[in-house]
Chains A and B, each alone.
Chain A
Amino acid sequence: MAKADNDIITGRTYVLGDNIDTDLIIPAKYLTLIPGIPEEYRKLGSYALSGLPDEHLRFVAPGKEKSDFTVIIAGKNFGCGSSREHAPVCLGAAGTQAVVAESYARIFFRNAVATGELYPLESKQRLCDLFKTGDNIEISLKECLITNMTSGSTFELKPLGAAGPVVKAGGLFAYAHDEKMI
């Protein structure tokens, strides 16, 4: 669980392309782990993005539970495929604070918001061609901006829209509480 305490997120990026599906994010053999059990939550983190082809730099180094990268930059349709909540959860468990993608698959976006595990942010431009893995970045949630400190350029993010109030409240349960639904 890695929500920004304030409106600024900083860290190093891990850059991916289009259609990063849930089988790449968390292979099905690890779905027996229950995210709410602390030990299994940490294990899920250690397997985050382990479905990626072996040529990729490992997102979480072997033997580690957390990734050195705290922000994922991706192309279109991030998180497509399964409804497994293990997907945003494993990224959150690995220390991911935000994903900045051109677009999201609906259920991944929703699960990221409902769990409050990470900020699913959308960029106006295709940043995965402009950023490199390991770049230092800073995100201002308030101003909807991402700055690549390594290259010195700043890009706009889209506002969170209807999901904004839910994220702000801290997830679905907190929001429903505020709305007096529960």
Chain B
Amino acid sequence: MGATITEKILARAADKNSVIPGDNIWVNADILLTHDVCGPGTIDIFKDKFGVDAKVWNPAKVVIIPDHYIFTADKMAQRNIDILRAFAKEQNLPHYYDVGTPRYKGVCHVALPEEGHVKPGEVIFGTDSHTCTHGAFGAFATGIGNTDAAFVMGTGKLLIKVPETLRFILNGILPDYVAAKDIILRIIGDIGVDGATYCAMEFQGEAINALNMEERMTICNMAIEAGAKNGIMEPDKTTMNYLNARTKEPLNQVHGDKDAKPAKIHNYDVSSFVPCVAEPHLPSNYAPARERSNVKLDRAYIGSCTGGKLTDFIMAAKILKGQKVKIDTFLVPATAEVAENLLRETIDGKSLLEVFAEAGCKDIAPPSCAACLGGPEDTFGRAHGKEVIISTTNRNFVNRMGSKQASIYLASPLTTAASAITGQITDPRDFM
């Protein structure tokens, strides 16, 4: 029997001819990613278990991208950056993207591929649940805790269980004003927040092939919201074009076998998909945007690894151009590169930055995770009360954006921008 792309990558990483779902195997890691929230704890365990003078298994494979609590006066947050900086220096890590320097990037999951650290067929472990984002490039990528990460740091290996594959075949043409976010929210709505627990979510089909890399990342990013171990897509020309512009290193694609037998196949025709939201307090609370037009909003938020990429801001600008927002609208580009492109990218002769300023959005914040996960009290865009928020982020759990009383609706950048203009949940096709 043939193997899925996930099984093939894992077999190769385990130096085996083949593996089957349920096998517990030791795999070699190609990249270990960490950031300021989990990095210090990981380093602490690494030193405790391997010794204070221990060296990481391969400095070129450890990537540290501080992004969570950056622009804050919080002393503990600053101490944690100091720990990362000292560790990077002591270990001679070439891929540390330090705060307060021109190397600073922003949200790790957008920066990692931008900087050429993601390659098809590789195994990527990250101390962050949204590490699954990188499956969009045909890699096996999954989130792990500090103890596991410390183990990888010291040995380059990790014991993992081969997941079963759930295949999602998405055919048809995505209608205008419907985005990748609408695809993944629809799927999570159908299978639930534990619908893919322990599984690989594999996305294929002409609707996926038609998406650019950033939209593909949005889909894989939220695989964890259905409980998946990883999200994954086969690499193609779009993947290679993106990566060849980012790295000079050789790229080897891994593909699944034609006769692979996933545990389950879900078929979708995306031509019937509509702009939607996930209502509080679970990403699986799917509702078409049009059916929730009675919901009044206090705030719109565009940012994060899910919805703060250049494509997301282009979508938002398409709606906001020549309009005025009615509610507080917070924009946080995921990375420094995205921020620069807001200035460069134009729409009818105006930069995206100008479009947003003229629409009355708040001044753009520097790149980081910002209010996506609440964070310290002084975090840009953080909720402090009973705000009703529409957001391009990935989680709408109680307390996610900093306040237990706040309500978060997840949506695409198009739906978020349209809703910012009216102050109510709005189908972006009203602005066609």
Residues of A within 8 A of B (CB): 19, 21, 23-24, 27-29, 31-37, 51-54, 76-77, 80-86, 88, 103-107, 110-111, 114-115, 162, 166, 171-173, 175-176, 181-182
Q: Is there contact, CB below 8 Å, between B197 and A77?
A: yes
Chain B residues whose C-beta falls within 8 Å of the C-beta of A52 in the assembled complex: 398
Contact B146 A105 (CB under 8 A): no
**C-beta contact mask, B38-50 vs A, less than 8 Å → 1, else 0?**
1011001100110
Report chain B residues within 8 Å CB of A27. 374, 399
Q: Interface digits, B367-401 against A, CB 8 Å rule (1 contact, 0 not)? A: 00000011111000000000000000001011110
Determine if B155 is an interface residue (Cβ-Cβ < 8 Å): yes
Would you give the shortest CB distance from A152 to chain B, in whole angstroms? Answer: 32
Taking the closest CB of chain B, its distance from the CB of A9, in whole angstroms, is 22
Question: Which residues on B sit within 8 Å (CB–CB) of A107?
Answer: 129, 143-145
One of B76, B143, B194 near A33 (C-beta < 8 A) = B76
Contact B38 A85 (CB under 8 A): yes
Q: Is the CB of A83 within 8 A of B80?
A: no
B404 touches A54 (CB 8 A): yes
Closest CB pairs A-B (n = 8): A32-B76, A111-B145, A36-B44, A85-B145, A83-B143, A77-B194, A114-B147, A83-B129
Would you give the 0/1 interface string for B155-187, flagging 1 where the beta carbon is closer than 8 Å to chain A? Answer: 101010100000000000000000000000000
User: Which of B44, B48, B80 is the one whose CB lies under 8 Å from A32?
Assistant: B80
| Cβ–Cβ contact B155 & A24, under 8 A | no
Picked from B80, B83, B146, B197, the residue with its CB within 8 Å of the CB of A35 is: B146
Most buried by A among B77, B126, B145, B374: B145
Contacts of B229 in A (CB 8 A): 106
Q: A182 — which chain B residues lie within 8 A by C-beta?
A: 151, 154-155
Are B37 and A84 in contact (CB-based, < 8 A)?
yes
- Which residues does B use to contact A, with CB under 8 Å? 24, 26, 37-38, 40-41, 44-45, 48-49, 68-69, 74, 76-77, 79-80, 83, 126-129, 131, 143-148, 151, 154-155, 157, 159, 161, 193-194, 197-198, 224, 227, 229, 282, 373-377, 395, 397-400, 402, 404
Residues in A with CB closer than 8 Å to B400 are: 23, 28
Partner of B44, one of A19, A34, A88, A110: A34
Q: Is the interface of A mostly helix, strand, loop or mixed?
A: loop
A31 & B157 in contact (Cβ 8 Å cutoff): no
- Inter-chain CA distance A104–B229, complex, in Å, is 13
Question: A61 CB to closest chain B CB, in angstroms?
Answer: 18
Contact yes or no, A80 B49, CB < 8 A: no
In the complex, chain B residues whose CB is within 8 Å of the CB of A54: 404
Determine if B41 and A35 form an interchain contact, defined as CB atoms under 8 angstroms apart: yes
User: Across the two chains, which residue of chain A brings its CB closest to B228?
Assistant: A106
Q: Is the beta-carbon distance between A29 and B145 smaller than 8 angstroms? A: no
Chain A residues closer than 8 Å to B373, beta-carbon distance: 23, 28, 82
Q: A181 — which chain B residues lie within 8 A by C-beta?
A: 26, 155, 157, 159
Q: Which residues of B contact A31 (CB under 8 A)?
A: 37, 68-69
Known: A106-B229, A114-B145. 14 other contacts (CB 8 A): A23-B373, A29-B374, A29-B377, A33-B76, A34-B83, A51-B404, A77-B194, A85-B146, A86-B41, A105-B194, A114-B151, A162-B161, A171-B147, A182-B155
A176 to B148, CA, bound (A): 11
Closest Cβ of chain B to A3, distance in Å, is 14
Of the A-B pairs whose beta carbons lie under 8 Å apart in the complex, a sample of 7, sorted by A's number, is: A27-B374, A28-B400, A34-B41, A80-B194, A105-B194, A107-B129, A107-B144
Chain A residue at smallest Cβ distance from B76: A32
